[in-house]
Structure 1
């Protein structure tokens, strides 16, 4: 049974279980079951108090987000009814909290009179990260326990609170390092005679609330989260009145309105998609990942440094191998400087920093790859260079060692063919800076074994990355789509836009950085090298000359001080470059194009629909298994705003018929060949379905 009860020394004990995270799921019967056990215990004349506890390592991760796409009454109703039942109980209530109490799980605990917690317990109301606010009384009860100012700050930031801070603030009433349930039962027995102390009955300390609200509104806000932050302010402010139930009703109204908002829908989708990508279609879920403890990284350049840092920050050992001693010394200095900077900024402890430095080692001898579970090649993006490295790895690495390439565009099957063990070869495309970026594209070759794939997906989780499986093609998922995104940006420059307008339109829409600024940051020379290769391999797919004209000047972006913009010093904001703008105008004239005024709306549509169209082709070819894989790549690797949900989700929200119609209009313009609508979009449109149907079909 998901909920059970017993009586221990005249104290009722209710235990709910919904492993592994114990969500307060109505589908699983958790809120209904707790309420039923309350009824049964309250009917027992000898029971003096009740303890609410859960099985497992976590008290509760909150409401079941998979249920949030139902109507508002079905989403909020069961937990709200349970907490109303807790309010109505005649006996004192104690929550026994281990692990984490999050969201609706914490709100249930707030419906109790007291909270006894394990010393390592953690508390949070993280709903703002999903575009929501607490919707079962959290905005009313928490401020009555910890004060309105602190309560608002915690809710608006979705901040995680340690047990020690919770005790100091009044959220927790006692901490224990021993038997939590026994301590909670003893605590309940000690206060049984005192009767109830409902949080709703406590006075609200709202001193400084108006100033706190003003300060919160003055901070920079993610535009997708701003509606939820404003709703949190309104809900906490409503609690200043004398009528608790009226304030509670206002919270419910605000939550219910946010629940169906576009940002909240997208953020929920993003949350679910990031978890779904770990379940690879066609890969036996019973296949266990082999343990990875020691990793060799070939190449001491920027990517090698970032990858090795990501490895040691996750508690693994990394050995950086490079034939050039000066490159190794530079890597050592940069890596240690990064670790010590994190220590100085309080991101890691002194002991953790020392452990990370100790876990890094360096060698100029390729034979030192022996004894490693995984070898990651991170050398220059040139097939002839990869060939030399992988032939060496094949000769020297231990049998069964996984050999991975950090290629961003090259053919992983061709790389695997340089070895006699293609089943052990896989692509691991890290994104720069590799120690910070969450995305890891896991490229499955034609002969990559299921065991290799399962192990590297487990490795992605070990190093706290979001691993997404991609098939083999030029650019895989992300960079292949990025090519079409950039193509439209460059064509827009030819037709009438200028760099600041293209980037500004995309950034105002929500992209973390516009396409041209992104290339300036990444280095224009990287794209230049890829275009040179593709000009030979794909002569039938023309490119704009504008980025090449800039590269021919030696202007590679931020690292050279000039690209599409001028950068005056490290960290400087991009400044408009009149010389670049003149080059763009001259190129339009050379092409015989009459420049025209281009709206921000057209910029956004062309850049985004190019992504969607190429994404549909990637799905048709099986390079990505599901639309959610594509969306997760773009949200975690390319700055696509989570509150838009990814290019495929966004296209569904616009409507595929409208997207296809706009692409048909664009096909009548300059370089219209690039707007041939993908057959998958046409098929889904004819069937009256969207990309979401493909996600559902893959479950």
Structure 2
């Protein structure tokens, strides 16, 4: 088979009278300048081949096209730009068919939309996730997709960035056929189109819309946007496709794309994207292989331990859960079974997969049942004495080569490790609750942790589908250290005149899903209170300290679990409590503080600065490896809005604006 090279990453060959063009730009066949040039040359070549009935475009490996080359976003555009490529495809006089062999995302989806036909393998997925980078599709996606699937489906897909699998795409009308051999079927389809008028997507009328369904989809997208601009612009552009010509729609889309691409929101989301790519990459682990892990032991089957168990089971591990009594072990099993049931009901888990998970689960009150596990995770109450005692007992139970992980939130794992026989096998795995839902795991590299132990912890977290962020051992790690500083600053403002509900409202208006005092109530006030009591003896008496949170705890106001904390929940809903207001006013008077007003902007600025300042300290101490790691922790563990980039990104943005 003769192969023609159109560029470094695009080549083609004739198959049954059709030019099959393959994009080969690993790892995801991104639409780099070289790929775009190669596609244009391939189309030119097809025109010159009188015997070629048409063109089939496919991807090498398991990906069709994974999207644009995001590294080019910060550089001047180089011709041919993607809108010109999609126009060339759509206007081709010879049929062009996409053979979608895997992911067709972003620009890859736009290439497929511009083709005259689309054939997909069962492994194909299709999506326009640009809103997740703070932009909209810029090469016809918002105008061509509704012409194939209708406005409502297009609003939902583009506005949310959700990807669809091949069978769903076929139901929508997004693809023409499913085939085991997508290329062979695409070649056949190209022949069938060769002597008939071509079905150019841009010339189709938008599929008639059910206005109520479209409005419902738009409302759903906008409700989840939380102040992001891109989803609203995506909805607007999709809806406009039915009201304007393709030419005008494409021009509007391109103008919007360029404006959003240069926005702070897009810069923030690109920062997060690249930070995620770097997360978990530790230079000293290069060449270090993780140990094999088949069976995981989990001690403590409360909400946290049960969530970890579900994550491990759904990732394919065998799990042995241990509690103090048989009754507690049974309660833990019931909790795990319930969480698996909810996952099955929502469609995240098939009935067969749920059954397999249960077959790999055992719960017991016998700690010696963990004698054969490869990894044991303690998830008991965050108390130094309790955790130390448990790890010492595990020392005498598990194999010498088994790894012991602590799920402590605030305690320094180095202190825990120092009390064990083999500190080199201790590692921190700080999950966030609920652990079966939350994506973040702080992986704590203790002073004595062996490299292969750290590598194993990372591999384990990744197999769970988590986002692992590595940090050094210290009390509170990255997240809780910053959260403590953030909470402390919020309490200073309360003492100085801002009310908790004003602070929460300012944060929520800025983009946080929940204000800090509401978060404290949800998490429970007693954990931070215990930490403050531990630190009381060593606290600098000259440092400012706000007693209000302690007074709430002393009054039994521990948050939602007790029906009251910073707010009251007597009606089931969060409500401002006059008793808390009175307590705050009394505390101010006791210190002679004359309360002052804080604007919403001032509140947010204070809190962002406190986070960034603590983040800088973590970097200087070597606790955090990078500013990006800090931002990922705050976004994925503490509700910092991703489209704002994280506290360190915001600090850099502020510095740059004043430079």
Q: TM-score, normalised by structure 2?
A: 0.95
- Asked whether the 8 Å contact 1:131–1:225 carries over to 2, the reply is no
| Inter-partner Cα distance in structure 2 for 1:511 and 1:233 | 22
SS at match of 1:318: strand
Distance 1:379 1:230 in 2: 44
Q: In the alignment, which residue of structure 1 is the partner of 2:596?
A: 596
Alignment of 1:546-695 (within 5 A): 546-568=548-570, 572-655=572-655
1:99-126: CA deviation from partner (whole Å, max 9, x where unpaired):
2211110101112110111123211111
Contact 2:63 2:103 in 1 (8 A): yes
**Counterpart residue number, 2:459:** 458
Q: Deviation string for 1:604-636 (max 9, x for gaps)?
A: 111111110010010011101110000000000
**Larger deviation, residues 506-515 vs 551-560:** 506-515
Alpha-carbon distance between aligned partners in 1 of 2:590 and 2:474, rounded to the nearest angstrom = 34
Name the residue aligned to 2:45: 40
Q: Does the CA contact (< 8 Å) of 2:205 and 2:242 recur in 1?
A: no
Instruction: Mark the CA change 1:656 to 1:381 in structure 2 (over 3 Å): closer, same or farther.
Output: farther
Query: Aligned partners of 1:527 and 1:407: how far apart in 2?
Result: 13
1:612 to 1:393, Cα distance in 2 relative to 1, 3 A: same
Kept in 2, the 8 Å contact 1:24–1:31? The answer is yes
* 2:144 pairs with 1:137: no
Residues 1:223 and 1:117: Cα distance change in structure 2 (over 3 Å): closer
The Cα of 1:584 is off from its aligned counterpart by 0.7
CA-CA distance at 1:224 after TM superposition: 5.0
How far 1:328 sits from its partner (Å)?
1.0
C-alpha distance in structure 2 between counterparts of 1:79 and 1:656, whole Å? 31
- The residue aligned with 1:83 is 86
Shift of 1:88: 3.4
1:107 to 106, 110, 118: 110
Q: Helix, strand or coil: the match of 1:655? A: helix
Structure 1 residues 241 and 306 mapped into 2: Cα distance closer, same or farther (>3 Å)?
closer
Query: Counterpart in 1 of 2:165?
Result: 162
- State how 1:109-124 maps to structure 2 within 5 Å: 109-124=112-127
Query: In structure 1, what is the equivalent of residue 70 of structure 2?
Result: 65
Secondary structure at 2:162's aligned position in 1? coil
Structure 2 residue 257 is matched with structure 1 residue 236: no
Distance 2:432 2:577 in 1: 28
Contact 1:129 1:225 in 2 (8 A): no
CA distance in 1, matches of 2:103, 2:278: 22
**How far apart are 1:556 and its partner, in Å?**
0.4
Taking a change above 3 Å as real, the CA distance of residues 447 and 107 of structure 1, as seen in their structure-2 partners, is same
CA RMSD of aligned residues (A): 2.0
In 2 relative to 1, CA 210–431 (structure 1 residues): closer, same or farther, beyond 3 Å? closer
Distance in 2, matches of 1:657 and 1:127, equals: 26
Q: 2:18 & 2:220 partners in 1: Cα distance?
A: 49
Question: Which region of structure 1 is more displaced relative to structure 2, 583-592 or 365-374?
Answer: 365-374
Q: Name the residue aligned to 2:152.
A: 149
Counterpart in the other structure of 1:24: 31
Gaps of 5+ in 2: 1-7
Measured in 1, the distance between the counterparts of 2:331 and 2:61 equals 47
Question: Deviations for 1:70-117, whole angstroms, at most 9, x for unmatched residues?
Answer: 34x45x962122212213322111111112211110101112110111
**Separation in 1 of the partners of 2:362 and 2:417?**
27
Q: Distance in 2 between matches of 1:301 and 1:6?
A: 60
Q: CA deviation at 1:166?
A: 1.6
Which residue matches 1:13?
Answer: 20
Q: Measure how far apart 1:390 and its partner are.
A: 1.5
1:671 matched to which residue of 2?
none
- Bigger mean CA deviation after superposition, 360-369 or 480-489: 360-369
Does residue 97 of structure 1 match 2:103? Answer: no
Show the 5 A alignment for 1:89-488.
Answer: 89-177=92-180, 179-209=181-211, 212-213=214-215, 216-217=218-219, 221-223=223-225, 226-241=228-243, 243-280=245-282, 282-488=283-489
How many Å apart are 1:211 and its aligned residue? 6.8
Structure 1, 101-110 or 303-312: larger mean CA deviation: 303-312
| Cα shift at 1:226 | 4.3
Aligned equivalents of 1:87 and 1:535: distance in 2?
70
**CA offsets 1:419-475 (integer angstroms, 9 cap, x no match):** 232222111111111111111001101121221112211111111111001111121
How does the TM-score come out when normalised to structure 1?
0.89
Superposed counterparts of 1:483-494, under 5 Å: 483-494=484-495
Q: Is the 1:428–1:443 Cα contact (8 Å) retained in structure 2?
A: yes
CA distance change for structure 1 residues 414 and 583 in 2, over 3 Å: closer, same or farther?
Answer: same
Give the distance between the partners of 2:305 and 2:209, measured in 1 at CA.
52
Helix, strand or coil at the partner of 2:97: strand
Contact 1:391 1:419 in 2 (8 A): yes
Q: Deviations over 1:128-182 (max 9, x none)?
A: 22222111011111112222333233222222222122222221111112x3322
d(CA) in 1 for partners of 2:311 and 2:74? Answer: 36
Change (3 A) 1:274 1:189: same
Alignment correspondent of 1:662: none
The whole-number CA distance in structure 2 between the counterparts of 1:221 and 1:266 is: 21
1:511 and 1:546 map into 2 onto residues whose CA distance is: 24
* 5+ long unaligned stretches in structure 1: 659-687, 689-699
Residues 149 and 519 (structure 1), Cα distance of their counterparts in 2 relative to 1, 3 Å cut: closer
Secondary structure, aligned partner of 1:115: strand
Question: Match of 1:666?
Answer: none
Deviations 1:391-446 (A, max 9, x none): 22222211321111001121212212222322221111111111111110011011
Query: Are the counterparts in 2 of residues 238 and 250 from structure 1 also a CA contact under 8 Å?
Result: no
Distance between the aligned counterparts of 1:600 and 1:45, measured in 2?
68
Shift of 1:309: 1.6
